[in-house]
Amino acid sequence: MVDVKKLIKEFSQADMQAYIEQYNMGDLAFGTFFPSKYTPDLTFESLQAATGAKVAAPVVSFNSRAPRAGRPTVGKVVGDIPKIELARVKDERDINTYRQLLGKAAASRNPAITKAIIDWIYEDTKFTLDSVNARIEWLSKQAASNGRYELTMTNNELGVVTKVPIDFGIPTANRKNATAPWANPATAKPITDIRAMQQAARAKGKKVLYATTDQETMDKMLDAVETQTFCASYAAVALDIQARPTVEALNNALQRNNLPTFRVWDSYVNIENKKGEQVTESGWVEGNVTFTVQSMLGDIQYTDTADGWVTIDQSVKSYSDFVLVKAYAEQDPIGMVTKGIAYATPVLANSESTWILKTVA
């Protein structure tokens, strides 16, 4: 490992940090549902919050000692925070491109060439940030839509494979099947299913306020005849006029009927195998709808990376939230390496107060 500034003289830690501060995650939305939370070690922990019905105090006689209420044992799921990492190398051909850009910049005052040099130097910073955050997005959507995630040779061929799924403990009784698959607009009963999920939560003293799903499942819900009738005005129903509602119109109708409102989590990432082939995935389990009592589904629990605090190497390092970006040069063969690293995982909160509706047969 060699100081990258010996290979790329224009490289600076300050410029890399400025590039990182301009970083935008685009469609990746895990932060909306899973805010980041620091933990001091490599262990994540999911606790069950007291989000159910209140415990009623007993009626007692005067001058008596107050009854002592029991303190429920805090349920939790504990596991190890994984390491997420990807590197990209600018090889000898890329270095020659850089040299040619420097030559053109010296012979011209064209600001576009200067910008091209800056982009060349720091473009892999964005790529590595995108890659780490895309994996967090995928893991978060798996956890949110299924209550667990599992790494396999299909979805994580370039990394480790988990022998046991990371399961956040949603009770089996909290997993329900739809009355009928939502793929058929004529027979689908989304509103009936939503009411059933609400009743299941009420039976446990919970009130579900939010339903989260992907765009494809939402489209099927909006296409359903029952949904369109539910959202239509009384006049439209009387005249048998069916119209596909918007998500906003659906949520207004749900809110008027004291039913949970919907959020659509619509994003896609590319999963790459060892051959360099990429497959585009949503990460959301097809057809699942997750009902929760709170707007936040959990958090991204992270801790410090070993690369972040060791001083034995000659790399240049900067952080974007919990993702470390480090850059360094290599001598044999000559190359510039940019690496993104995070010790982080989504952790589903209040799994006992989470219900999942399966709408696919």
- DSSP secondary-structure letter at 159? S
Q: In a 3-state reduction of DSSP, which class is residue 119?
A: helix
Nearest-5° Cα angle at 137, 207 to 287: 55
Three-class DSSP category at 346: strand
Nearest to 138 by CA among 285, 341, 318: 285
Determine phi and psi for 300, rounding to 5 degrees. Answer: -95, 105
- The interaxial angle of helices 111-146 and 92-107, nearest 10 deg, is 140
State the pLDDT at residue 159.
80
Q: How high is the pLDDT of residue 43?
A: 81
Query: Which pLDDT does position 55 carry in this prediction?
Result: 47
Please give the single-letter amino acid code of residue 155: N
Angle at the Cα of 148 from the Cα atoms of 145 and 151, rounded to 5 degrees: 110
Rounded-to-5 percentages of helix, strand, coil across the chain: 35, 25, 40
158-181 tens-digit pLDDT: 787 666 678 899 999 999 999 999
Q: Are 23 and 323 in contact (CB under 8 A)?
A: no
Cα-based distances in Å from 125 to 132, 141, 313: 11, 24, 19
Q: Single out the residue of 283, 319, 265 nearest to residue 38, CA to CA.
A: 319
Element spanning 338, H or E:
strand 335-348
| DSSP state at residue 352 | G
| Rounded (5°) CA angle 157-159-163 | 85
Write the pLDDT tens digit of every residue in 115-144.
899 999 999 999 999 999 999 999 999 999
**Phi and psi of 29, rounded to 5°?**
-125, 15
Q: Helices in 11-164 by DSSP H: which ranges?
A: 13-21, 30-33, 92-107, 111-146
Helix-helix angle 215-223:247-256, to 10 degrees = 70
CA distance 55 to 253: 32
pLDDT of residue 74: 38
Contacts of 277 (CB under 8 A, 6+ apart): none
Minimal CA–CA distance to 318: which of 135, 87, 125? 125
Backbone angles phi, psi at 325, to 5 degrees: -115, 125
Q: Give pTM, 2 decimals.
A: 0.87
In the chain, the largest separation of any two C-alpha atoms, in whole Å, equals 95
Token readout for 345 is 């995982």
Sequential pLDDT tens for the chain (361 residues): 888 888 998 999 999 999 899 999 999 999 999 999 999 888 877 655 444 444 444 444 444 555 554 444 334 566 778 889 999 999 999 999 999 999 888 888 888 998 899 999 999 999 999 999 999 999 999 999 999 998 888 888 878 766 667 889 999 999 999 999 999 999 999 999 999 999 999 999 999 999 999 999 999 999 999 999 999 875 465 556 678 999 999 999 999 999 999 999 999 999 888 888 888 999 999 999 999 999 999 999 999 998 888 877 788 999 999 999 999 999 888 999 999 999 999 999 999 999 999 999 8
The predicted structure's pLDDT at residue 48: 55
